[in-house]
Amino acid sequence: MTPADTAAELDPITTEVIGSALFAITEEMSSALMRTAYSPNIRERGDCSTGLFDAQGHVLAQSQRLPLHMGSLLGSVRSVHERYPVETLRFGDMFVANDPYHGGGSHLPDVNVVAPIFLHDRLIGYAASTAHHSDVGGMVAGSESADCREVFQEGLRLPPVKLVGSGRVQEDVIAIVALNSRVPVDRGGDLHAQIAANRIGQQRLAALAERYGTDRLQDYVDDLLRATERRIRARYAEIEPGAYEHDEYLDPLADGTPLRIHVRLQVRDGRLVFDFTGSSPQLPYARNIPSYALAATAFCVVKTLLDPAIATNDGFYRSIEIIAPEGTIVNPVEPAPVGARALSCGVLADAIAGALSLAAPDRMVAGSGPHQLVVFAGLDERTDDYFVNYETIAGALGATATHDGLDAVRIYASGAANLPVEALEHAFPLRVERYELRDGSGGGGAHRGGRGIRRDYRLLAETARLSLTGERHIEPARGTRGGADGAPGHFVLNPDRVQEAELPRIARDIVLHAGDVLRVETPGGAGHGEAGR
């Protein structure tokens, strides 16, 4: 029987029911992960994602958390699938990986746990979870600083290694991860939370296969992917075929060297082809974007602009082709550092959105302000324990052709929440003294850009070290069709005091003392159209 014959006899309602069931499983997995995680970054901010894959490693569904994590989920499953032949896998196995060059990861703090799923000794798929661990070692607390010069400085690197064998947790592997972290208890707790989430995925997908039959379920899954692909290709058919080019720039190097992200979008034959040839060479700093993060960002921007409700599965992803020369910002080669890739992905998203805006002017969107990263670390005298507060603070979206930009939100592929003040002050020796929108930070125009955030932290410990990574402090979000640019971001130490000082946008191990205040001002989104029109 041909695929066409099989598709003809399938019930479309059942296809939709199964698609919804797969998505519901990933949501249940994410809920379990967040409820059982130890660290506030996962438990409170939701800096995690879960997904389901079929036995060939095709994406079936992803939870609605962080689109950027699709790169890590997809890459880690492919790495396990390639490294461990099916005949070597056993019921109850799980694998852990984080390395961007040998484990399918996109930066080291995003630790991936992959679980093969069996029914009656037959591999039917994979469950996977990605969680951002607040510290996995390296030269900087938080394991993420744009100041790192090579991936070896960024923390513990893991290719796919067995974390659970036939249902038994390999505690020695967890001990290795924990020993390399400044907050070891959190690492063990968070890994066990990922294991628990994956077990739910194993149980639920096996039950679904038991209900419909393994072969019949795969037929419906294939039909779901085909339906998704047909839907997105219908959206592409609404765009005028052709080639569309756009440039965006990261903040320049200290010597003024511009950092270009160039994209050429081709719309042809029901496909989108994004070609990044012409982008700047890879950097000796951790602002590079590994290939899986590049892919995840492209998927997210296309979904956001063309069909926000489309399912996140392989049927959608295979309609997009990406060309990225090795050795560039958007496809670095080992040992290039990649820790701060998420901020660079904010600018990358503007480049992709800019090209799509030319192809589909009714979906045009101005430049956006990416989140900013702060890491406080030191001794918490309340507990005599070392603490690491890894935190990213939302920026703002640019205006569209029809609406003002959204205030105080993650842009495109970034999706974790701001850490709630109550949770932050309970967990760390910090007090938030100001938390508000930055009036005037959104660029003006017929439609105003979104406003960024102003957030002030006071240190309550005797001393701590601070690391910072910012983007769009020099190159602001650019307006479209006469709209004004968004306001740049700022880090300010001890604002409104005699000793007030503007801090660099990239810095590590700044020594703070009790009573010092850090002000974070995230960049605003740009405006669209001339004001008054």
The domain spans of the chain are: 3-228, 364-533
In order of 70, 302, 344, 481, 485, the CA distances from 478 in angstroms are 27, 20, 15, 10, 5
One-letter identity of residue 238: E
Q: What's the pLDDT at 64? A: 86
| Omega cis (within 30) before 332 | no
Q: Indicate the DSSP class of residue 62.
A: E
* Tokens found for residue 398: 């640019």
DSSP string, 505-530: SEEEEEEEETT-EEEEEPPPPPPBS-
Instruction: Find out whether 212 and 18 touch, Cβ atoms under 8 Å.
Output: yes
Residue type, 272: L
Quote the CA–CA distance of 330 and 100 in Å, as a whole number.
13
Going by their DSSP bridges, the two strands 271-275 and 320-323 should be labelled as parallel
Residue 475, helix vs strand vs coil: coil
User: How many helices, marked H, and strands, marked E, lie in the chain?
Assistant: 11, 20
Give the per-residue pLDDT at 2: 54
Give the torsion through C-alpha atoms of 428, 430, 432, 437, to 10 deg: -80
pLDDT of residue 6: 59
Q: Determine the pLDDT at residue 27.
A: 97
Pairing mode, if any, of strands 110-119 and 94-97?
antiparallel
Residue ranges of alpha helices (H) inside 237-381 are 291-306, 314-317, 341-359
Which residues lie closer than 8 Å to 243 by C-beta, 6 or more apart?
Answer: 264, 265, 266, 267
* Residue 128 to residue 111: CA distance in whole angstroms: 11
Contact 101, 149 (CB under 8 A): no
pTM: 0.95
C-alpha span between 510 and 516 (Å, rounded): 12
All residues at 6 or more sequence positions from 441 whose CB lies less than 8 Å from its CB, including other chains: 369, 396, 449, 451, 452, 486, 487, 521, 523, 524
φ/ψ of residue 224, rounded to 5: -60, -45
Hey, is 436 helix, strand or coil?
strand
Report the chain's terminal Cα–Cα distance, integer Å. Answer: 60
- Tokens linked to 222: 């294939």
Four-point Cα dihedral 22, 26, 31, 33, nearest 10: 140
Question: What does each of the 533 residues of the chain score in pLDDT, given as a tens digit?
Answer: 455 555 558 999 999 999 999 999 999 999 999 999 999 999 999 999 999 999 999 999 999 888 999 999 999 999 999 999 999 999 999 999 999 999 999 999 999 999 999 999 999 999 999 999 999 999 999 999 999 999 999 999 999 999 999 999 999 999 999 999 999 999 999 999 999 999 999 999 999 999 999 999 999 999 999 999 999 999 999 999 999 999 999 999 999 999 999 999 999 989 999 999 999 999 999 999 999 999 999 999 999 999 999 999 999 999 999 999 999 999 999 999 999 999 999 999 999 999 999 999 999 999 999 999 999 999 999 999 999 999 999 999 999 999 999 999 999 988 889 999 999 999 999 999 999 999 999 999 999 999 999 999 999 999 999 999 999 999 999 999 999 999 999 999 999 999 999 999 999 999 999 999 999 999 999 999 998 76
Structure tokens belonging to residue 205: 């997908």
Per-residue pLDDT at 1: 47
Instruction: Give every CB contact of residue 58 below 8 A, 6+ residues apart in sequence.
Output: 225, 313, 314
For 309, left (φ over 0), alpha (ψ -120 to 50), or beta? Answer: alpha
Identify the pLDDT of residue 531. Answer: 87
Mapped onto helix, strand or coil, the DSSP state of residue 226 is: helix
In what helix (H) or strand (E) does residue 61 lie, and over which residues does it extend? strand 59-62
User: 3-state secondary structure string, 289-327?
Assistant: CCHHHHHHHHHHHHHHHHCCCCCCCHHHHCCEEEECCCC
* Closest-CA residue to 161 (of 80, 71, 56): 80
Question: Given this model, what pLDDT does residue 187 score?
Answer: 97
**Of the candidates 516, 421, 422, which has an alpha carbon nearest to the alpha carbon of residue 461?**
516
